[in-house]
Structure 1
């Protein structure tokens, strides 16, 4: 309840976006492999941003 109004950090937002993009890519892959590959590429870019944030936090 106390975390109800807590704002998400940039890292949490990116992780949620990464997970969501992977799920969409998986669903699309059954019907349109080209679109799924594009979404996987987007997910890779998000993963790179997450890695950069982790390096900067250390």
Structure 2
């Protein structure tokens, strides 16, 4: 019953991940490849965290 009121941490990370990817896309369109690379790297780290949390929840 208490699990009904717990917030899913992956949802927050997923929103952060999507925001980073969007910022990266806009940087790429603007010609700023260095920023694009940095934002994409950060997004991939967040994606790895999401996958780790999902694997932990399944087990």
**TM-score of the superposed pair, with normalisation by structure 1:** 0.83
Q: Displacement, 1:32?
A: 0.3
Task: Mark the runs of 5 or more structure 2 residues left unpaired by the alignment.
Answer: none
Q: How many residues align?
A: 53
Q: What is the distance in 2 between the residues matched to 1:26 and 1:35?
A: 10
Q: What is the distance in 1 between the residues matched to 2:6 and 2:15?
A: 13
Structure-2 residue corresponding to 1:36: 36
Task: Mark the runs of 5 or more structure 1 residues left unpaired by the alignment.
Answer: 1-5
Structure-2 residue corresponding to 1:25: 24
SS of residue matched to 1:29: helix
Q: CA RMSD in A?
A: 1.5
| TM-aligned CA distance change 1:10 to 1:26, over 3 Å | same
**TM-score of the superposed pair, with normalisation by structure 2:** 0.82
